[in-house]
């Protein structure tokens, strides 16, 4: 029997490589605000933590008073460009196909808003793989709170002990721990703290297809 009956994916940095579209859209918004451009590295650090931390990374403390202005400018720009260059990470499509063939439940838990999530999944032709999509729009508390993961377990009738959360940031790993589910750190993702997160995660995988090994049989954690 499979070790896990449900695999929950983070979106940005785990399922989909979105950094180019986020980076380009951020700088278009900053240009409209007559603010300095940011680097790709700064943009990558902003992806994932949630809307408040996202803005702190982009604007810096000294421009936080312009946060609402930034949101109003950035959102329509990003919604127009969120599918320009975004792509599945190598190995993700074969993983989704194999998990579907094994009748594993699939879900997404992302701190992205619903309005920016569905268009990307539709453009990449993977929306139909997922039984449930949880975004920050559907819960009171985004990751690292466990709300999305616990809601997914409840709605799909899968107990936490049969659930695996795959993500690339501390928010994913901490949310999994808070929900009582196993976590797999996606080493191909955007986090700058992979070494520390590897110690927190139940498992660490360097390629999406390695997730199949976790599904097939119980293996020692962090190997």
Residue 218 has pLDDT above 70, yes or no: no
In a domain, 221, yes or no: no
Give the integer Cα–Cα distance in Å for 70 and 28. 11
Asked if residues 136 and 110 have their Cβ atoms less than 8 Å apart, the reply is yes
**Residue 1 domain-assigned (yes or no):** no
* pLDDT of 12 over the 50 cut: yes
The first and second tokens of residue 163, run together, are 């659930």
Count of helix runs (H) and strand runs (E) in the chain: 10, 8
Lookup: tokens for 170: 């501390």
> Is the CB of residue 77 less than 8 Å from the CB of residue 162?
no
For the question of residue 170 being annotated catalytic, the response is: no
- Long-range interactions of 60-66: CB distance < 8 A, separation 24+: 63/35, 66/33, 66/35
pLDDT tier for residue 223 given thresholds of 50, 70 and 90: very low
Least confident of 6-20, 83-97, 186-200: 186-200
Indicate which CATH number applies to the domain containing 160: 3.40.50.1000
192 and 125: one domain? Answer: yes
Residues 194 and 171 in one domain: yes
Start-to-end CA span in the chain (Å): 21
Task: Give the tens place of pLDDT for each residue, 19-29.
Answer: 999 999 999 99
Domain identity same for 55 and 96 = no
Q: How many CA atoms lie within 13 A of 223 on its CB side?
A: 6
| In a domain? residue 202 | yes
At residue 54, the pLDDT reads 85
Q: Are residues 91 and 170 in the same domain?
A: yes
Same domain for 147 and 105, yes or no, is yes
pLDDT at position 49, please? 65
pLDDT digits (tens, 9 = 90+) for 158-201: 999 999 999 999 999 999 999 999 999 999 998 878 888 999 99
The dihedral through the CA atoms of 202, 135, 143, 132 has a sign that is: negative
In a domain, 117, yes or no: yes
Which residue range is the domain that position 163 belongs to? 6-17+86-216
For 91-116, what is the mean pLDDT? 96
Residues 153 and 68 in one domain: no
Candidate list 10, 12, 17, 21, residue with the active-site label: 10
Give the chain's domain count.
2
């Amino acid at each position: 029997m499979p070790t896990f009956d449900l695999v929950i994916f983070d979106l940005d940095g785990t399922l989909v490589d979105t950094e180019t579209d986020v980076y380009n859209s951020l700088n278009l918004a900053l240009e409209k605000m007559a603010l300095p451009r940011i680097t790709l590295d700064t943009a990558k650090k902003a992806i994932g933590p949630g809307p408040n931390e996202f803005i702190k990374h982009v604007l810096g403390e000294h421009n936080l008073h312009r946060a609402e202005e930034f949101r109003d400018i950035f959102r329509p720009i990003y919604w127009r460009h969120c599918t320009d260059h975004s792509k599945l990470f190598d190995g993700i499509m074969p993983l989704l196909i194999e998990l579907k063939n094994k009748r594993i439940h699939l879900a997404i838990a992302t701190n992205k808003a619903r309005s920016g999530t569905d268009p990307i999944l539709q453009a990449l032709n993977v929306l139909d793989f997922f039984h449930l999509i949880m975004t920050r729009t559907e819960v009171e508390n985004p990751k690292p709170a466990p709300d999305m993961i616990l809601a997914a377990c409840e709605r799909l009738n899968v107990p936490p002990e049969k659930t695996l959360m795959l993500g690339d940031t501390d928010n994913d790993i901490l949310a999994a721990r808070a929900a009582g589910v196993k976590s797999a750190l996606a080493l191909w993702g955007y986090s700058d703290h992979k070494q520390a997160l590897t110690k927190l995660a139940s498992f660490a995988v360097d390629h999406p297809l390695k997730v199949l090994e976790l599904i097939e049989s119980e293996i020692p954690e962090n190997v």
